[in-house]
A and B are shown apart, each in its own frame.
Chain A
Amino acid sequence: MKTRVLAVAMLGLGYGLGNAHANIGPVPAAEKGEGQSAKRDDPATVRLPAKVTMPLGGRGQAETRIRIPKRLLNQINQAAGAHHQNTPGPLGTAPVHTVIAGLALSVAAACTLLLVMRKAIKPRTATAAVALLLAVGGVGTTVANFGPPPEQRRAVGTVLIEITDKGEKIEVLVGRIELDKK
């Protein structure tokens, strides 16, 4: 009997928590059907000093410019190179993580159940523990199955990238912004 209860609990929680996809955002249309993870589109990141100039009172240049000193370009290239090497491999499917997490959670729940059954715990305590477990499981399942957040509104236009010999920081000169109406 105990074994059956445990099996049902593990299966139920394992399915509820393990089927959830990681919150990795929308899959780009071009990549759908290629069997690759959407993480492929993740940007390479590198933290560099920068100066941002915003347009004031409708003034400023029409086009946004990014000035990158040549000495910082090396670091950007390195980051891009490292990122290129890190494109997803056979293990690079994020749902594997959530499935394992779900299984681990179901084992944790089963162990808790076993503990409650093995020990002579007062009915009130046992009810409270089961209610807590169900509440945590319910909230966890709901949160884990949330869809990705809506996309932020974006500005559209072109950007001019200048590579200069001068300067120590990247300069971002923000042009007049026109919001994307799509």
Chain B
Amino acid sequence: MAGSIALRRTTLSSLRWFAVASIGVLTGACLFAGWAPITFSVVTVFCFAGPHNWLEARYMMSRMPARWGRLRTYFLVGMLGVLLLASLAIVMPHGLNAWRASSQAWLFGAASWNSLLVLWVALLAQLRSREHPRLDWSWVWPVSFTVIALNWLWPLAWSFGLVYLHPLVALWFLDRELGKRRAAWQSTYRKCLAIVPGLLLLLWWRLAAAPDLAGSDALSLQITHHAGGHVFQDVSTHFLVAAHTFLEMIHYGVWIVAIPLVTGSVPWRMHNIPLMRRSRTWKAVLLAVLAGGLCISLLLWSGFLIDYSLTRDIYFTVAILHVLAEVPFLLRLL
């Protein structure tokens, strides 16, 4: 009896800490992003971009079963889609530049890539739905084709929607993990999440009509461009950069702190990666990938110190890989 009361008290106390920490991080990120968006963006990308990708890769490895069995088609479609779409996203801008393509051709390219992405996600959802008898996702095709239609009408809005929505996918991962591992925390977490739209509205209220960001240097323009300053021309760039940086910070916080905390996995202990047990070759490959990832993180830091702007550009071009890789794993969690 006393033991159960003590356990309940410990749970309540950790739950309270979790809520306080979540609200603190969200509010702090919002304040810093609104106050000094460019500086905050520079600092957060410098500190967290590499580590968060490494931890994300580590998480995905632990979610991949040792033997694929019936999931073979699902994972093959997932991996091939990631490689194909990422290669296209990286190569297409260079090709269009070399071809001296018109702005309409750029829009056509963007809309085509977005359509391929939607079809790939729909196919994965269909495969996932077949694998799980209780899931009925037959509505995925009508919805996907409607999304494709909207994408063809407003391709750039769709592309930038992806830029702003991708950070929120991390929150979805965290919600699913909480549901599986710490169900008692899930409702508190969802209540904490309710302040995210509130904070975004606060940023909008304070900054939507504010003067554009003053910096006219290459880095400021690059960050403004990344947040869609050239697309949403009626909205202050101060708001756009602040909102994007705020969401990015949430994304980094979830992958670096929250998910490792909730899953209880220590990143350097490899025992919870099922693929490691498959064979020695797989073990060697995975260890090489993780070691390579660490080297890339160190290289990123060095690159940021030498030429921040160029490294940031390269990073955000290649980062599409992790954006895409999240899709098959998120669908598996649903």
Contacts and interface: CB of A to CB of B under 8 A. Distances in A.
A48 B216 contact: yes
Interface in A12-48: 17, 22, 37, 39, 42, 45, 47-48
Interface residues of A, number: 35
Please tell me the size bucket of the interface on B.
20 to 34
Interface string B141-152: 111111011111
Contact of A104 (B108, B148, B155, B233): B148
Interface stretch (A52-60, A107-115, A157-165): A107-115
A87 B105 CA distance: 10
Contacts of B229: 47
A115 B139 contact: yes
A168 to B, nearest CB: 9
Most buried by B among A17, A37, A42, A97: A97
Contact of B150 (A75, A91, A101, A107): A101
A115 B138 contact: yes
A102 interface: yes
B106 A86 contact: yes
A97 B145 contact: no
A94 B237 CA distance: 28
Nearest to B140: A111
Contacts, number: 87
Select the residue from A42, A93, A94, A111 with max chain B CB neighbours within 10 A: A111
Interface string B228-239: 011001000100
Interface in B242-292: none
Given A97-B153, A98-B153, A86 B102 contact: yes
Interface in B182-211: none
B212 interface: yes
B104 A91 contact: yes
B213 to A, nearest CB: 10
A98 B152 contact: yes
Contacts of B150: 101
Taking each of A88, A105, A118, A119, which has the highest tally of chain B beta carbons within 10 Å of its own beta carbon?
A105
A39 B146 CA distance: 26
Contacts of A112: 142
B111 interface: yes
Nearest to B229: A47
Contacts of A93: 104
Contacts of A86: 101-103, 106
A80 to B, nearest CB: 14
B140 to A, nearest CB: 9
A39 B212 CA distance: 27
Interface of A is mostly: helix
The B interface, classified by DSSP as helix, strand, loop or mixed, is: helix
A115 B104 contact: no
A100 B146 CA distance: 11
A85 B106 CA distance: 12
Given A45-B230, A111-B142, A115-B138, A101 B152 contact: yes
Contacts of A118: 138
B102 A101 contact: no
Interface in A67-125: 75, 85-89, 91-94, 96-98, 100-102, 104-105, 107-109, 111-112, 115, 118-119
Contacts of A96: 108
Contacts of B132: none
A49 interface: yes
Nearest to B136: A119
B100 A97 contact: no
Give 8 nearest A-B pairs by CB, closest first.
A92-B104, A108-B145, A101-B152, A104-B149, A89-B102, A111-B142, A104-B148, A105-B149
Given A87-B102, A89-B105, A91-B102, 14 more contacts: A17-B149, A42-B103, A86-B101, A88-B102, A94-B104, A97-B108, A97-B152, A98-B153, A101-B149, A101-B151, A104-B145, A104-B148, A105-B145, A105-B149
22 contacts: A45-B233, A47-B237, A85-B100, A89-B102, A89-B105, A91-B104, A91-B108, A92-B104, A97-B111, A97-B152, A97-B155, A98-B152, A101-B150, A104-B148, A105-B149, A108-B142, A108-B143, A108-B145, A109-B142, A111-B145, A112-B142, A118-B138
Interface of B: 100-108, 111, 115, 138-139, 141-146, 148-153, 155, 212, 214, 216, 229-230, 233, 237
